[in-house]
């Protein structure tokens, strides 16, 4: 019986398809995360504990305030990165990767660590690192080389 390390490495098309699926999911999650902040701030305005001051509305406040704008941006980045790190380190797959039967593994064949996940994210160039797959003999993305990971194609279920 084959070990997980023996499965073929994923090509560019499958990686980009999974990335597209995940982008749609992440956009939806980001909308929910942003909506939660807006709802909390608007509730604060309604009960009188939040005041936007010179800002026109909640959107203007969150995008222009010198303190809250970077905090809000960090929060949304944390949600996005947290999604990827959670799924990659727990199951080796995001929902998009599951749909395309892909899994990210360490070079040893196990689940990747949080450090490896963070390296993959920080060196991925928002998915552009996958364009090294066709020219690398081992079909690795630039981020896989740095993180010492592989993206494999899982067999079809019987």
pLDDT tens digits for range 84-107: 999 999 999 999 999 999 999 999
Q: Residue 2's pLDDT band (boundaries 50, 70, 90)?
A: low
Give the orientation angle of helix 68-90 with respect to helix 114-123, to 10 degrees.
Answer: 120
- Quote the CA–CA distance of 82 and 14 in Å, as a whole number: 23
pTM of the complete model? 0.89
Query: Are the C-beta atoms of 110 and 104 separated by less than 8 Å?
Result: no
- Supply the angle between the helices 12-47 and 68-90 in degrees, to the nearest 10: 140
Does the pLDDT at position 69 exceed 80? yes
Going by C-alpha positions, the residue among 15, 4, 25, 1 that lies closest to residue 139 is 15
The structure tokens 């999974």 sit at: 18
* Rounded-to-integer distance, Cα 51 and Cα 151, Å: 48
Alpha carbon distance 158, 153 (integer Å): 15
Q: What integer best gives the mean pLDDT of the chain?
A: 94
Coil, helix or strand for 149?
strand
pLDDT for res 121:
97
% of residues, the chain, pLDDT over 70: 98
Q: 66 or 5: whose pLDDT is higher? A: 66
Is residue 24 scored above 90 in pLDDT? Answer: yes
How many CA atoms does the CB half-sphere of 27 hold within 13 Å? 7
Closest-CA residue to 133 (of 149, 122, 121): 149
């Amino acid at each position: 019986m084959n070990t997980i390390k023996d499965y073929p490495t994923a090509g560019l098309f499958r990686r980009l398809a999974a990335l597209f699926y995940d982008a749609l999911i992440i956009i939806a999650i980001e909308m929910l995360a942003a909506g939660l902040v807006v709802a909390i701030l608007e509730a604060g305005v309604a009960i009188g504990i939040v005041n936007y001051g010179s800002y026109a509305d909640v959107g203007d406040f969150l995008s222009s305030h010198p303190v809250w704008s970077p905090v809000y941006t960090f929060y949304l980045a944390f949600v996005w990165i947290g999604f990827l790190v959670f799924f990659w380190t727990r199951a080796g797959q995001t929902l998009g990767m599951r749909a395309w039967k892909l899994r990210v593994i360490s070079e040893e064949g196990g689940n990747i660590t949080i450090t490896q996940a963070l390296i993959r994210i920080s060196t991925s160039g928002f998915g552009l690192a996958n364009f090294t797959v066709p020219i690398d003999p081992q079909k690795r993305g630039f981020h896989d080389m740095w993180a010492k990971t592989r993206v494999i194609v899982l067999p079809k279920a019987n």
